[in-house]
Structure 1
Amino acid sequence: MTKIIVATGNENKMKEIRQIIKRDDIQFVSLKDEGLSDVEIVEDGDTFEENAIIKAKTIADITGTIVIADDSGLEVDYLDKAPGVYSARYMGEDTPYTVKNNHIIELLKDARGVERSARFVCVIACVMPDGNVITTRGTIEGQIGYEEKGENGFGYDPIFYLPEKGCTTAELSPEDKNEISHRGRALTAMYKKLEGVL
């Protein structure tokens, strides 16, 4: 059994990772599982890649084990790709996503159609015990909806509208979302890269 630490305290992310990579010989554990919740990780990178590597390396330096970390966020073209790498901290880390989502909708009140284009980006970084770093990136294109819709998903999912599906990512079933999501794509690519190593 290979244990992989996921450098996150976000249970929703842990759930998605376990749903996407179904392997009996890999055990994904969170920072909480490992008693590492109090480790301070300073995400001061300018890109998703830099932040994902910072997170993974910080935990790998402490544990000496395989660590993966993701950095993901929403890029809204009308807002010059904001909130981007600041997605989790946008309007303050403790601000509820309903407030963040409705704020973005308000900022786009004059935008129509393709002007509302946006994407979810996810970068996964994996740090191996020998210090080798592997990264993968996944994206999904969509638009900002006109109101929050859907009870599934989390974060910005209720306002991320997929024209080809006619719904937001929060209206998709977890299985359908994982098949097309930015995290699903980045994780699947990472899994393929790790297959020869694990």
Structure 2
Amino acid sequence: MNPLVSEANKWVLASHNQGKIREIGELLAARGIVLRSAADFSLPEPDETADSFAGNALLKARAACRATGLPALADDSGLCVTALGGRPGIHSARWAGEPRDFHAAMNKVNDALAASHDEDRSAAFVCVLALVFPDGTHRLYEGRVEGEIVWPPRGDGGFGYDPIFRPEGEGRVFAEMSRAEKAGLSHRARALAKLMAGEFPDD
């Protein structure tokens, strides 16, 4: 049995994002992990003050672990557009300001690309997962999907920037795929696959 699963079968996900909770929960359930959300414990969302995906993921996971006493999993993820110097990156969720509005954020990405006069539409979805245990140990796992920005937005599924991101080798954007299809390709699924395979990179 995978040693991660045998240590504890109940984890808390340090997120209030229902899309992430559903996506990660479905993947972990198949491996015997019961996932609780931050909302189940009325946990506030900590300020994401780090300057990297890994830093923000660790910040959130450590806060949730301290508050609940359970192993805590947090992800920080975003869309990194080559022609925009990697933006929106760690600012993906709030790219268009508050309240979070991904329709406005997608328009902002398209407008910024047009203003750049750069024909490069390559981009990547990046996810870093941080798993923190009550004894203070932690592990980090990164998943990455290369692709390109398309316009106009397409599809009714997914969430966030899924309607404008087409992964390499696919004719469809993430929002045109079923949840199962996206789960087989997504940056988050790739990070989770590393976690469940017990691939422990150096801290």
> What is the identity, as a one-letter code, of the residue corresponding to 1:33?
D
Distance 1:186 1:174 in 2: 17
**Deviation, structure 1 residue 23:** 3.4
Q: 1:111 to 1:42 in 2, by over 3 A?
A: same
**Deviation, structure 1 residue 181:** 0.3
Tell me the secondary structure at the aligned position of residue 14 of structure 1. helix
The 8 Å contact of residues 125 and 136 in structure 1, kept in 2 or not, is answered as yes
Unaligned runs of 5+ in 1: none
Q: CA RMSD in A?
A: 1.7
Q: Does 1:98 align with 2:103?
A: yes
Q: Does 1:29 align with 2:19?
A: no
Q: 1:24 to 1:143 in 2, by over 3 A?
A: closer
Question: In structure 2, which of residues 2, 5, 9 is the aligned counterpart of residue 2 of structure 1?
Answer: 9
**Deviation, structure 1 residue 67:** 0.3
Unaligned runs of 5+ in 2: 1-7
Q: Does 1:121 align with 2:141?
A: no
Compute the TM-score of the two structures, normalised by the length of structure 1: 0.91
Question: In structure 1, which of residues 138, 154, 164 is the aligned counterpart of residue 143 of structure 2?
Answer: 138
Give every structure 1 segment of 4 or more consecutive aligned residues whose post-TM-superposition deviation is greater than 4 Å: none
**Deviation, structure 1 residue 35:** 2.5
Tell me the secondary structure at the aligned position of residue 93 of structure 2. coil
Q: 1:78 to 1:4 in 2, by over 3 A?
A: same
Q: Does 1:18 align with 2:29?
A: no
Deviations 1:103-141 (A, max 9, x none): 2112223443xx110000000000011110101000000
Distance 2:66 2:167 in 1: 39
1:192 aligns with 197
Percentage of pairs with the same residue: 38
Deviations 1:61-81 (A, max 9, x none): 222210000000000011000
Question: In structure 2, which of residues 54, 57, 70 is the aligned counterpart of residue 52 of structure 1?
Answer: 57
Tell me the secondary structure at the aligned position of residue 124 of structure 1. strand
> What is the identity, as a one-letter code, of the residue corresponding to 1:128?
F
> What is the identity, as a one-letter code, of the residue corresponding to 2:173?
T
2:158 aligns with 153
The 8 Å contact of residues 28 and 35 in structure 2, kept in 1 or not, is answered as no
> What is the identity, as a one-letter code, of the residue corresponding to 1:14?
I
